[in-house]
Amino acid sequence: MSTDYLEVSRYCFNSICFVPLSADAPKFFGFSEFLAALALMVLAWTIADVRYHFRIRAAPLPLYRATFVIVATVGLLALLTDLWRAEQWLVPRNNLLTVSRWQALLGGLFLLNFLTWAWFAFVHPPVYGRANARRYAQALYRVILKGSPDELSIIADEFANSAGPIVHYATDIDPRGRHHGEDQPPTKKPPRVTAYANQILLLIADKRFCRAVVASSPRTALILFQEIDIKRNTES
């Protein structure tokens, strides 16, 4: 029988019984452990440079918003769990979800959130594609609009990873469905991934970004021109 509950008294309603939660129940992920883990996570986010923040913003998932919701939810539930244990309030008598399993669930959710950040920031950086076209364009626009030479140098190098997909998706059709430089009836509007690729190619023409590419990441220019040449030969 589980020791997570006090068996001295039970309160049953129909087939559901409630028992006081034992103050001596096992504890390995409470509110104090949550605060310690959160401090380390915040430190890691703070010292990360612009490259990793760019990758997080360009990821196909809204990681900033999701992280806030998950961290706030886990912290609140961990605090309530400790309070429930200290006050020995009633909980449903249930062998399926014990206090230990409940703490493991909260800790696992918190760990999964951190691992998701690490996956996109370090292990598998996002590249431009259908799933993150809008987010990638917005992240790049934010850096170019800010215009910091140091940040532009880093993102110019990071851009090389997505140069191929951006050129692949780009087209000469504008958002209204017209070919650039031609007076023709509108065609079907391009898909979102193509429209954002077109905008990005116009965006990287910014002179500050071009200077950063020439000064800090010539390979980006080389990859971009190679991809353009490959696409031109493929379509001809």
Strand order across the beta sheet in which 11-13 lies? 11-13, 16-20, 90-92
The CA-based diameter of the chain, rounded to the nearest angstrom, is 86
Q: Give the residue carrying structure tokens 């020791």.
A: 3
Burial 209-225 (b: 16+ CB within 10 A, else e): beebbeebbeebeebbe
- The answer to whether residue 1 is domain-embedded is no
pLDDT value for 16: 75
Considering the domain architecture, whether residues 16 and 51 belong to the same structural domain is answered as yes
pLDDT value for 147: 94
Amino acid (one-letter) located at 43? L
235/141 Cα distance (integer angstroms): 29
- The answer to whether residue 128 is domain-embedded is no
Of 120, 141, 162, which marks where a domain is finished?
120
- The answer to whether residue 127 is domain-embedded is no
Considering the domain architecture, whether residues 138 and 197 belong to the same structural domain is answered as yes
Considering the domain architecture, whether residues 161 and 105 belong to the same structural domain is answered as no
Cβ proximity of 126 and 132 under 8 Å: yes
**Three-state secondary-structure class, residue 5:** strand
Element (H, E) at 40: helix 31-47
Considering the domain architecture, whether residues 152 and 103 belong to the same structural domain is answered as no
56/51 Cα distance (integer angstroms): 9
54/56 Cα distance (integer angstroms): 5
Considering the domain architecture, whether residues 60 and 113 belong to the same structural domain is answered as yes
Task: Provide the token pair at 175.
Answer: 């958002």
Q: Which domain holds residue 176?
A: 133-235
- The answer to whether residue 139 is domain-embedded is yes
Tens-binned pLDDT, residue by residue, of the chain (236 aa): 455 545 444 577 777 788 888 888 888 899 999 999 999 888 888 888 899 999 999 999 999 999 999 999 999 999 999 999 888 888 887 777 788 899 999 999 999 999 999 999 999 999 999 999 999 999 999 999 999 999 999 999 999 999 999 999 998 755 554 555 555 555 677 899 999 999 999 999 999 999 999 999 999 999 999 999 998 888 76
**Other CB atoms within 10 A of residue 155 CB:** 25
- The answer to whether residue 50 is domain-embedded is yes
- The answer to whether residue 43 is domain-embedded is yes
pLDDT value for 27: 86
Considering the domain architecture, whether residues 144 and 219 belong to the same structural domain is answered as yes
- The answer to whether residue 2 is domain-embedded is no
pLDDT value for 174: 54
Total structural domains in the chain? 2
Amino acid (one-letter) located at 128? Y
Of 86, 120, 154, which marks where a domain is finished?
120
- The answer to whether residue 169 is domain-embedded is yes
Of 72, 97, 120, which marks where a domain is finished?
120
pLDDT value for 92: 81
Could you read off the pLDDT of 59-85 as tens digits, one per residue?
999 999 999 999 999 999 999 999 998
